[in-house]
């Protein structure tokens, strides 16, 4: 049975944790062939595997109609959240 990947570690350096977790998730999409499923399913997988704390973060995001169920949009929103802007 497909066990997927572990939830993201929400302690320590969240920027680095997110980058590493995102890399694992993108590999998982390919290895499990989830990348061949509808984006809606891929987004659900991302939220499922990210974990409870990340789901709370997700609940703060705003989406317009064109952005709903788009994996790249969702990943970008988490990038924006976890990776500080360089000034």
pLDDT tens-digit map of 47-82 = 999 999 999 999 999 999 999 999 999 999 999 999
Number of domains making up the chain: 1
**Residue 72: C-alpha distances to residues 1, 39, 42, 48 (Å):** 27, 9, 10, 16
- The pTM of this model reads 0.91
- The tally of CA atoms less than 13 A away on the side-chain side of residue 25 is 24
Q: Is the residue at 45 inside a domain?
A: yes
Q: Is the residue at 24 inside a domain?
A: no
Q: Which domain holds residue 46?
A: 37-80
Q: Is the residue at 8 inside a domain?
A: no
Return the closest-CA partner of residue 58 out of 6, 18, 3, 16.
18
């Amino acid at each position: 049975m497909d066990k997927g990947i572990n939830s993201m570690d929400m302690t320590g350096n969240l920027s680095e944790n997110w980058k590493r977790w995102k890399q694992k998730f993108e590999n998982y999409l390919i290895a499990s062939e989830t990348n061949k499923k509808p984006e809606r399913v891929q987004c659900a997988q991302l939220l499922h595997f990210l974990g409870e704390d990340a789901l709370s973060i997700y609940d703060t995001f705003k989406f317009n109609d064109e952005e709903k169920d788009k994996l790249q949009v969702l990943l970008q929103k988490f990038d924006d959240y976890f990776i500080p802007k360089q000034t």
